[in-house]
Chain A
């Protein structure tokens, strides 16, 4: 197993994430399940990386590890010089709040809150004033083209609209990394395309680094490079 050499693009200046020898195992009863095996990869700043593979290949697990909502059994994950694999629970939480934005297949919006309150959530973890929070929420929602639905509850939104809110929430705190787990998995083709357009725009125009897990080649095609995973390892790399 050899680690693919990162190709430097003129826009990207540095490596944002360095994954080295990461292993993840689960205990299920008396058996041990190996989800990731000695995985290493680099993600440069401004990258748009798609992770593809059959179910059980560990791609979502890798995403979770990158986002700090799970910890590797072994190995290091260095983000902007910090090895988050060494972090404890509370440190990870704090790190996540500032550095990561998640976009979920099932949106995971809080049904009791309006769209704008949902988007505001990550900002509650910062020390920003109420007016400053409001400003950023507005900006994020305008960027994702969902500002007109600010007061609506998730139950009043279509799937595509919910996902926009999800993306707005993910970028409102201006994180380093945007992690998307099957963002179009639950959407029809048209809505899905709109979402992918949005993600591409965020990557090209705002310079956001995005890692997207998907099983849809159509969606993966929108990324800058695609990595295939199988049984916990990286298979090949294809890039545009």
Chain B
């Protein structure tokens, strides 16, 4: 727009000052982007959770398991579309301190329930017929450099076979996409047939229900079926289940919000102060503009525009840089795979930038508006 040269020139008046203010905002939003990634890393699973999936576990705790034959009875509950199960493997590869999120599953029903996971048909076919086959997520493929066709000696820190060994040799039949990207899925039968204890039991059932609205009633029914049995159940939505996990890490969300607020508040002050200084130096110029016929509102808007330009330029650049940085960390550090700044952070960031610019410029803009032309000119 035609006022841009004037606004820009005013910002360039004190280049160093404008530069450092923009840099402050840059840092603030870079931090915001990185913290957004942190928040996502801890609570992101919650967003992935399907509204139409329920989790069934032993009421006592995840440590305990349930008989696998529960599956048949659960499948008969009205409203349940599919049932599958998973058993924690306690898997690792070579280094016991780098755990792998691995489950023994019933392949066909698992894929049925997890529609968000996709696999080329030849890979899923191969997996279904390969007793010792596994499919892995892209994160694992990247971390260990595994490819389809590799043979991996998988170890478990919980399970032993009847000879006391804890190694299960598996073949990588496929790499899936979508859903949670760091899983390793082996056949439950392969694990159960050879392990020495807890046979015919599973740690968790997953249900796909036809209508999310009925989640509550279905959960009650399932739990009611197994009340007073040896293995009572607790059924909840996948989202609620994952939220509990995230909450165990501590109130990460609150901490992140706290830090971001502190930072943004200081940024507000820095930018506001810069604007105020700048306006104060320009009193006579503002008066001249008014004398020339610029309306009060026009002058005020120009001040706000200056302020917005600073916060938006600094904010957009900072956020972009921070997001790139987060992505780079995610690809370089193995245990932080999938670390990235979510798109929702970006939308909120833009909102914050705009508010910051407007708030910082508010007071100076009002001052500019109220300026008495004659008095100001006289003072000069």
Contact = CB atoms under 8 A, between A and B. Distances in A.
Q: Do chains A and B touch in the complex (CB under 8 A)?
A: yes
Contacts of B119: none
A93 B290 contact: yes
Given A94-B295, A121-B289, A112 B9 contact: yes
Given A121-B289, A121-B292, A124-B2, A104 B377 contact: yes
Among the interface residues A60, A95, A125, A130, which one has the most CB atoms of the partner chain B within 10 A? A125
Nearest to B5: A117
Interface string A140-181: 000000000000000000000000000001000000000000
B284 interface: yes
B278 to A, nearest CB: 11
Interface stretch (A45-53, A63-71, A194-202, A229-237): A63-71
B3 to A, nearest CB: 6
B292 to A, nearest CB: 5
A106 B380 contact: yes
Interface in A96-118: 96-98, 100, 102, 104, 106, 108, 110-113, 117
A75 to B, nearest CB: 16
Contacts of B285: 108, 110-111
Among the interface residues B2, B289, B292, which one has the most CB atoms of the partner chain A within 10 A? B292
Interface string B6-23: 100110110000000000
B291 interface: yes
A121 B6 CA distance: 9
A122 interface: yes
Given A70-B373, A113-B6, A97 B296 contact: no
Given A64-B374, A69-B374, A110-B285, A93 B295 contact: yes
B332 interface: no
Given A69-B374, A112-B12, A130-B2, A122 B293 contact: yes
B10 A112 contact: yes
A169 B292 CA distance: 9
Contacts of B294: 93, 97, 125
Among the interface residues A113, A122, A124, A125, which one has the most CB atoms of the partner chain B within 10 A? A124
A89 interface: yes
Interface in B260-317: 284-285, 287-298
Interface in B80-135: none
A127 to B, nearest CB: 10
B293 A89 contact: no
A108 B293 contact: no
Contact of A94 (B3, B12, B293, B377): B293
Contacts of B289: 121
A96 B288 contact: no
User: Binding site of A, secondary structure by majority: helix, strand, loop or mixed?
Assistant: helix
B375 to A, nearest CB: 9
A206 interface: no
Given A64-B374, A69-B290, A94-B295, A108 B2 contact: no
Contact of A108 (B6, B295, B380): B380
Nearest to A126: B293
Contacts of A61: 374
A90 B295 contact: yes
B292 A112 contact: no
Nearest to B14: A112
Given A108-B380, A110-B288, A117-B5, A97 B293 contact: yes
A199 B378 CA distance: 23
Given A106-B380, A110-B285, A117 B9 contact: yes
A113 B9 contact: yes
B2 A93 contact: no
A91 to B, nearest CB: 9
B295 A117 contact: no
A93 B380 contact: no
A104 B9 CA distance: 22
Interface in A116-138: 117, 121-122, 124-125, 130
Given A110-B285, A124-B2, A124-B3, A90 B296 contact: yes
A104 B287 CA distance: 12
A126 B376 CA distance: 25
Nearest to A102: B291
Among the interface residues B284, B288, B291, B295, which one has the most CB atoms of the partner chain A within 10 A? B291
B61 to A, nearest CB: 69
20 contacts: A60-B378, A67-B291, A69-B377, A70-B373, A70-B374, A94-B293, A94-B295, A95-B293, A97-B294, A108-B284, A108-B285, A108-B287, A110-B6, A110-B288, A112-B10, A112-B12, A113-B9, A121-B289, A124-B2, A124-B6
The 9 closest A-B pairs by CB, nearest first: A97-B293, A112-B9, A96-B293, A93-B295, A69-B373, A70-B374, A108-B288, A64-B374, A112-B13
Given A102-B288, A113-B6, 16 more contacts: A60-B378, A69-B290, A69-B373, A90-B295, A93-B290, A93-B298, A96-B291, A97-B294, A98-B293, A100-B293, A102-B291, A102-B292, A104-B288, A108-B284, A108-B380, A124-B6
